[in-house]
Structure 1
């Protein structure tokens, strides 16, 4: 517990939300960081101790108790840090599938990767350039190789950084204008570029709307996985239309919005290109189909 009980406590600040782009920025005006696959978290320290908030402002301090303890040992009286809570594998890569298990049973195996600082010892830093905020963040959390880590960055060479992130099998990258302030809500002063995956999905049906390309309704492991644009040759499309089962009811567990699709006979596999790290298919296209 810290002194100053008469002072107002620091409040949660709505985080800046990067805009999704399909190609990384290439000018030297940008900083580039790895996009960590975890939970966006805001870490706040004031006179009453440290707290951890989700991106929607929910207090999850009890779930992240080891990080809370580490935050209270940092050399500052107060701060607000923006970052990502991750479940790192032994090689340091974030493993999103381990997040819930570790929060419940092994919270000491979580790590907080700090990538911005919004407040420090009574000063609101949001109007400062991003590159200056990162320098102040490093001074606070260094050596930043334990439970509270530092998000390293490179300046410029966005395409080269993207290629390296993709080769490592990571989810993607976040790029920030080096001179930008920090604004709450969506903003193109930060952009995220995700890497692509190609995989096989069960093609359940086709949804056609006037003026729009056909959308394939996909499943994986028997569960709805989203939709993908059917960017195929006319011959391949004709093969699909012949597989339509007239009057077939939609498979269970699908959103009501796609209940009017044309459902196909079982046994069609689609090869799909899609953005890595999304809970459902996004910006996805069907590359090929095969019939069993």
Structure 2
């Protein structure tokens, strides 16, 4: 018996002006096996930028502005959103605007890496303003002014991206957080420029510096050199080992005595007497008076009078221009106390 002729196949494209439509999807058969998903990590050790005196050269390097704030990881999970600090503390409730913006992102699961910042009138990130918005070191206030500048995507819709090269991670991040947004989560944009030129422009505009990242690198915790930071003004964390009293200064603090680490011990690197505000100085004096020490934690022969020594438990963020020939900070300025939830590491002298 002869089979009836088949109906002619539909052409790949119909009329030129006709709309192309896909077939409606059928519901997934529950018995059909699913693709396995990567387990979502509870925390990822952050990749840190290595301090360098000059920007690297080569086509593999991408450049961004260096933001001056608190490092954050935003975890978007089926159960909700968590905001984790660099030190592993849960600060979800302290950044309500960032939390609300994370909930609006069009993604089921993700981990965004970025920096929480507060901007000044010129649009520059200001570490002091961020600390004030949170109530200072050890404060418990929420910051509604803070926004997150997102610069990496480590987990996305069930997939661990840490083993993927930076260029691919950035491509996915830019699709999730578009450039030019005004939400509380914004894209830290790559800037197409020569590193030396960008650093010069950043310094002229009063920015802290720039960050260079190897586009071909995977994401690894610690300072492996895949990310590098180049600063306009040097800064770092220095242990406060004492202070000089003065009845004419805010909080009776004429100067703080600072120390860095060298060969496993603390060494004296000078003092700082500028950058204090009245209310901050009073709080700082109260904290220092609770940890007074009989003997200094460093060898000291500076000749200052009216010195009070303290245990080296407080770490101050200090800006400075350079180092003197005898290993002291040149033109230092106090920026604030570092918080244990962010970073308490003390500057190490090589």
TM-score, with normalisation over the residues of structure 1?
A: 0.70
Question: Of 111, 136, 150, which residue of structure 2 is paired with 1:80?
Answer: 111
Kindly indicate whether residue 310 of structure 2 is the aligned counterpart of residue 279 of structure 1. no
As a proportion of its length, which structure holds more strand? Answer: 1
CA contact (8 A) 2:93 2:142 kept: no
Tell me the SS of whatever aligns to 1:181: coil
Q: CA deviation at 1:108?
A: 2.2
Question: Of 130, 154, 157, which residue of structure 2 is paired with 1:99?
Answer: 130
CA distance in 2, matches of 1:164, 1:253: 45
Q: CA deviation at 1:264?
A: 3.6
The residue that corresponds to 2:77 in the other structure is 46
Question: Of 260, 263, 270, which residue of structure 2 is paired with 1:217?
Answer: 270
Q: CA deviation at 1:91?
A: 3.3
CA distance in 1, matches of 2:234, 2:51: 16
Most deviating of 187-196 and 214-223: 214-223
Q: CA deviation at 1:204?
A: 8.4
Question: Of 16, 23, 26, which residue of structure 1 is paired with 2:47?
Answer: 16
The residue that corresponds to 1:211 in the other structure is none
Tell me the SS of whatever aligns to 1:75: coil
Q: How does 1:73-222 map to 2 (within 5 A)?
A: 73-104=104-135, 107-143=143-179, 144-155=181-192, 157-196=194-233, 217-221=270-274
Q: CA deviation at 1:65?
A: 1.8
CA contact (8 A) 1:43 1:52 kept: yes
CA distance in 2, matches of 1:204, 1:92: 33
Instruction: Give 5+ residue unaligned stretches, structure 2.
Output: 1-37, 136-140, 236-253, 259-266, 277-291, 306-315, 331-350
Tell me the SS of whatever aligns to 1:137: helix
Q: CA separation of 1:256/1:48 partners in 2, compared to 1, >3 Å: closer, same or farther?
A: same
Cα RMSD after superposing both structures: 3.4
Question: Of 45, 50, 59, which residue of structure 1 is paired with 2:90?
Answer: 59
CA contact (8 A) 1:204 1:263 kept: no
TM-score, with normalisation over the residues of structure 2?
A: 0.59
Q: CA separation of 1:280/1:88 partners in 2, compared to 1, >3 Å: closer, same or farther?
A: closer
Tell me the SS of whatever aligns to 1:132: helix
CA distance in 2, matches of 1:195, 1:253: 36
CA distance in 2, matches of 1:169, 1:68: 29
Q: CA deviation at 1:58?
A: 0.7
Q: CA deviation at 1:284?
A: 3.1
Larger radius of gyration: 2
CA contact (8 A) 1:33 1:173 kept: yes
CA contact (8 A) 1:25 1:175 kept: yes
CA distance in 1, matches of 2:53, 2:42: 34
Most deviating of 171-180 and 110-119: 171-180
CA distances 1:118-137 after superposition (whole Å, capped 9, x unpaired): 00000111122212211111
Question: Of 293, 296, 300, which residue of structure 2 is paired with 1:256?
Answer: 296
Tell me the SS of whatever aligns to 2:134: helix
CA contact (8 A) 1:64 1:103 kept: no
